[in-house]
A and B are shown apart, each in its own frame.
Chain A
Amino acid sequence: MTQKNTAPTAAGVSSRGLKRRLRLGERVIEGWILLAGLLAIVVLLGIIFILLKEGLPIFTHTPPWEFLFGTKWYPVSDPPTFGIAPFFVSTLMITLISTAIAVPIGVACAAYLAEVAPAKVRETVKPIIEILAGIPSVMMGFIGLALLSPFVQSLFNLPTGLCGLTAAIMLSMMSLPIIVSVSEDAMQAVPHEFKEASYALGATKWETIWHVCIPAALSGIAAAIMLGVGRAIGETMTVLMVAGGALAVPASPTDPMTTMTAAIASGIGNAVRGGPQYQALFAVGLILFILTLAVNIIAERVLERQKRKFAR
């Protein structure tokens, strides 16, 4: 079939010409792929460059030490002070709490879907969970405002339900789908022989999940957790809507907070381009960038170690 199709064209073109044309096509495609690859790197370098260019000058106004650990963020007073400790602490607190909620639930849900649930349940539930990941964060903010915050307020007897805890719970719900989906894939990929061997040794279902499936799927689960943490750190709209927006360093999770992302989003519209507040917000972005980079590098290291431990 293929021979029949190519034969007439091949006969019409001299073998030399055909060869050259193929090589040219090859070059074009190679160049195209190279360009696409370079583009990703260029964009990343561009982001770093802009963050540095716009953000670093603030350190001539406020020394880095004061900027990081200062507790007062008064960008419009005279003279303005830029201390991002409230945002930094808020981001850490909300991220930690949301991870602490999302990881056990997510991994347990994944283990249920991968190991316990009948095929029919899995095939219905998993797509539904994946749809959850696509809900716009503004809508999650609505849900947090309307449903969760009154509940949190009455549960802890707070002056307002808009606080770090509400934001953390909403974020945990937002990072759940990705944690469940990716770790369920990882557990599904654990070779059947391992599970069979475990059952044949008299291990129960729970023991098999805990001692065989989860350890063998650990690198995938860790990747899932990192994706979830990444979502929690970077999420802006929901926390802007439900975290409360206070500018003080939070003392407890039930305090109103402003995360680094929310601070940037709410402040950048009012900042004079090139002014100190503008620079300070870019510096916040820079620190956020370093934070996510650090999370990624640590995750990479942990995975590397796990891989060596379970190496074939």
Chain B
Amino acid sequence: MAAVIPLAPRRSRARRVVHALLIAAALSFLLLFLLLPLAAVFVEALRKGVGVYLAAVVDPEAIAAIKLTLLVAAIAVPLNTVFGVAAAWAMTRFEFRGKAVLGALIDLPFSVSPVVSGLIYVLLFGAQGWFGPWLEKYDIKLIFAVPGLVLATVFVTLPFVARELIPLMQSQGSDEEEAARVLGASGWQTFFRVTLPNIRWALLYGVLLCNARAMGEFGAVSVVSGHIRGLTNTMPLHVEILYNDYNYAGAFAVASLLAFLALVTLGFKTFLEWRYGAELAARAPRGH
């Protein structure tokens, strides 16, 4: 018979008190350290009224920052999605030498400081960098310009999709793809009709996290941006500028948009985990 956990085993009073204390301690920490900062964002954003809030959001510089953020994410996320799928396919469907090294390399951007992530592109493409003189000759500007923002964002968000897909596709194995091949499907048919349906929720999950990070990245982008208002300012950078100008209402108004994005991401993520948990099940127990 399957063991059934009794509804109300006789527990001592002392034990119930300990349980209550542990729960209280954990929840207080979550509320004080996590929820309070989130609440602060929205409260501060609306402190001076809805009018000021809306004005800050539709300010031309804010709009420019929002557009730039969307543009950067619109380039970086698809690039890393395609990369993630290709990397996962190579890593899970074939055996080759150096696989472990490749896996570590894919994970690497997670453990590099955002500032270092920006720094390496400055050293590569900046005026003093390897390709600096060559780029200058042809009047191509990568650093302190949009391409630099995109590159830095691509770097920091590179692992997200691959990280979700690799453990899942590893655990699924390649039986189904092999069956499709035996039944006469072409390579692309196999991928689109067999592989993709099996990994779609994990893929979406990875894209979601990738996008959240792409839109919210600060350190790496800050280093390569040069903070040119209206030109190379993404939303997080705009928040910083407004905050340093003591325009707190404005800073928090733009920040509230980012916080809202974070909440939507969390909500969607929780929904995916709840609804499609089994199909994401092989996720490695790692953060990002």
Report if A and B associate in a common complex: no
